[in-house]
Amino acid sequence: MIKPEIIDNVLHLSVEGMDKILALKSKLSVPLEHITAIRIDEEIVKNKFHGFKMPGTTIPGIITAGSFYQDGKHIFWDIHHPKQAVIISLDHEHYDQLVIEVENPESFVQEVQGKIQR
C-alpha cells in the first residue's frame, strides 16, 4: 500500500511494508503540476497482463508492484486490492502512469483533483 502526502504542491508517495522490497522502490515524489489526471479504476487491475516487468513483481490475484512497460508507457504499480486502485497520469516524469493502492481512494482523488484544478 502507498501512504500519500501533499507538501508544498508535491505529492509524496511512500511505499509501505514488504511492498518496498517487491516494488524495489520506497518513495516517489511528483509535483502536482505534472499530474494530468487522477481516477479510481479497479478494472485496470483486473487485467491479467500488467506489462513487461522492468523490474517488478507479479503474483496474480495477490500483488503487482514495481516498474512495468505496457502499450508504450512506463508504469509504476503497487496494488493488492483492485477496489482501492487509483490511476495517476503524469507528464514530464519518469513514469507515464502510477497505479497505486491507497487507504481511502475517494478522498485521496478528491483532494488531489482539488489541488491540481487550482
The pLDDT of residue 48 is 62
Which residue carries 509504476 as its cell? 76
Give yes or no for residue 50 having a pLDDT over 60: no
Q: How confident is the model at residue 43 (pLDDT cuts 50, 70, 90)?
A: confident
Between CA 21 and CA 92 the distance in angstroms is 26
Give yes or no for residue 118 having a pLDDT over 70: no
Give yes or no for residue 74 having a pLDDT over 90: yes
Mean pLDDT of 92-103: 95
Give just the sign of the alpha carbon dihedral 50, 52, 56, 60.
Answer: positive
Between CA 51 and CA 73 the distance in angstroms is 9
Position with higher pLDDT, 54 vs 88:
88
pTM of the complete model: 0.90
* Annotated domain spans of the chain: 2-116
Cα separations (Å) of 79 from 43, 60, 73?
Answer: 12, 11, 18
